[in-house]
Amino acid sequence: MLLSDHASSVELCPLRYQFATVQGNRYDDNWLVIGGTVTTTEGSWSFADPSLLTHEARQVAAWLRAVAAGTVSVIQPDAEGYLSPDTWFTEPVLALSLSDRSETGAVIRLHLSLEAAPPWQQADDRADIYQYFVEVQVDTAALLHAADQWDLALASFPTR
């Protein structure tokens, strides 16, 4: 799944189950290693980390489709400037929120924490979870295409 605009891009892809063989545990059996490649005006980096459970990964496409349909609310920072994503997962590595919307598309925030954060952010022990994000402006067709790409990539990773 690729989300990009003139300034930034984020590509996410499920790579494999964390554990190749079934462990007999509903969590361990369903952890997916997610690979990411990120490019911003600050720099570029890649990561690969067990970030999403199979059922959580499926929520990503559903969220993108909901943004395209206009049913996701824009999230603003609170009074202290803290930004809470509206879609987050068990591991606080990836999260999603909507920064802005227009008639033709939206500005998506991809929150990247811990192992998914850029190298210069990982070294900063003061970095707060979900407070580093990349904003990408995409049109509705690109949102739906990204959701379809994500679903297609996930087809190889059923819940075990």
Label residue 87 by pLDDT band (50, 70, 90). very high
For residue 95, is it within any domain? yes
With a cut of 60, say whether residue 69 has pLDDT above it.
yes
With a cut of 80, say whether residue 122 has pLDDT above it.
no
Q: If we measure between CA atoms, which residue out of 130, 134, 107 comes closest to residue 41?
A: 134
> What is the distance between the alpha carbons of residues 121 and 149, in angstroms, rounded to a whole number?
29
Domain that holds residue 30: 2-154
For residue 159, is it within any domain? no
> What is the distance between the alpha carbons of residues 98 and 109, in angstroms, rounded to a whole number?
6
Is pLDDT larger for residue 140 or for residue 120?
140
* Number of compact structural domains in the chain: 1
Alpha carbon 49 to its chain's center: 12
For residue 70, is it within any domain? yes
pTM: 0.94
∠ Cα 85 129 126 (to 5°): 145
For residue 118, is it within any domain? yes
Contacts of 76-82 with C-beta under 8 Å, sequence gap 24+, read 82/128, 82/131
For residue 34, is it within any domain? yes
Q: Which residues pair with 33 in a beta bridge?
A: 16, 50
